[in-house]
Amino acid sequence: GKVRAPTHIISTISDDRGEEPCYAGVPMSSIVEKGYGVGDVISLLWFKRSLPRYCTQFIEICIMLCADHGPCVSGAHNTIVTARAGKDLVSSLVSGLLTIGPRFGGAIDDAARYFKDAYDRGLTPYEFVEGMKKKGIRVAGIGHRIKNRDNKDKRVELLQRFARTHFPSVKYMEYAVQVETYTLSKANNLVLNVDGAIGSLFLDLLAGSGLFTKQEIDEIVEIGYLNGLFVLARSIGLIGHTFDQKRLKQPLYRHPWEDVLYTK
């Protein structure tokens, strides 16, 4: 019989050996002919399956809403400083991307993990939030630097409105809203933020679509796919900030002395 030479790499998401590349078995010509969008491509390459239109539309809305949030946020600030230091596009981009993490943009996976665990265990928002406090862990997906009860994040509202209209169930998101009601009773800025909205709603997308087994959902949450949405989205804005600084021929950035508290 045939002897298969051992391979050094296993890959299951795309194949470029034929006449045209295939994403999860779908040839590029079908992707173009069927008018697929970036949400479909993400579905194929990340989740290895085609998802219904409302899911791919939701993914695209996440990408559009998170593409940028002005020049003052951590990521854009780093990118701007790097571009102004004369560095190239990739260096400026990754310098901004490196700020994405537990405080900024990279709380989506933890929000999904904690909200899922708390909801599935039937914890009340009080039990969940106070339990986290006892462990000294901040609730991922809650809190914002400039948003608060009276100045809620419009992006969160837009995601919620879309999901309430199109998703078969929004139980995880409604749980996150109950958690927000409780945290807002503690402090004004402890709103459900865009990471928390995406984290909880993606749980609803995965569970409600009926296309993922329980084991697959657990694996997606455990591996942490969802911060990828923010990384991908914000790359659009960070690339824009790099071009902007270069177009404006901005000089080397030096932080003003007056804005530093020099102390011993």
Tokens of residue 245, six digits:
């600084």
As a whole number of angstroms, the distance between CA 59 and CA 36 comes to 13
Specify the stretch interacting with ligand ACO by CB under 6 A; choose among 133-141, 164-172, 202-210, 217-225.
Answer: 133-141
The distance of closest approach from Cβ of residue 205 to ligand LMR in the complex, given in angstroms and rounded to an integer, is 20
Binder of residue 107, out of ligand ACO, ligand LMR, none (CB less than 5 to 8 A by kind): ligand ACO
The residues near 129 (Cβ < 8 Å, ≥ 6 apart) are: 139, 179, 182, 183, 186
Binder of residue 116, out of ligand ACO, ligand LMR, none (CB less than 5 to 8 A by kind): none
Q: Give the residue, chosen from 31, 118, 142, 221, that forms a contact with ligand ACO under the rule CB under 6 A.
A: 142
Across the beta sheet with 14-15, the strand order is: 14-15, 22-23, 26-27
The residues near 40 (Cβ < 8 Å, ≥ 6 apart) are: 31, 50, 51, 56
Is position 111 an interface residue for ligand LMR (rule: CB under 6 A)? Answer: no
Is position 235 an interface residue for ligand ACO (rule: CB under 6 A)? Answer: no
Q: Which helix (H) or strand (E) holds 77?
A: helix 74-84
Is position 241 an interface residue for ligand LMR (rule: CB under 6 A)? Answer: no
Is position 98 an interface residue for ligand LMR (rule: CB under 6 A)? Answer: no
Nearer to ligand LMR, 73 or 80 (CB): 73
Is position 204 an interface residue for ligand ACO (rule: CB under 6 A)? Answer: no
As a whole number of angstroms, the distance between CA 82 and CA 76 comes to 10
Tokens of residue 184, six digits:
């807002």
Q: What are phi and psi of 110, to 5 degrees?
A: -65, -35
As a whole number of angstroms, the distance between CA 61 and CA 39 comes to 9
Binder of residue 146, out of ligand ACO, ligand LMR, none (CB less than 5 to 8 A by kind): ligand LMR
As a whole number of angstroms, the distance between CA 52 and CA 91 comes to 36
| Interaction pattern, residues 47-86, with ligand LMR; x per rule: CB under 6 A | ----------------------x---x-------------
Is position 187 an interface residue for ligand ACO (rule: CB under 6 A)? Answer: yes
Q: Binding residues for ligand LMR, per CB under 6 A? A: 69, 73, 145-146, 194
Q: Binding residues for ligand ACO, per CB under 6 A? A: 102-105, 107, 138-145, 187, 189-190, 193-196
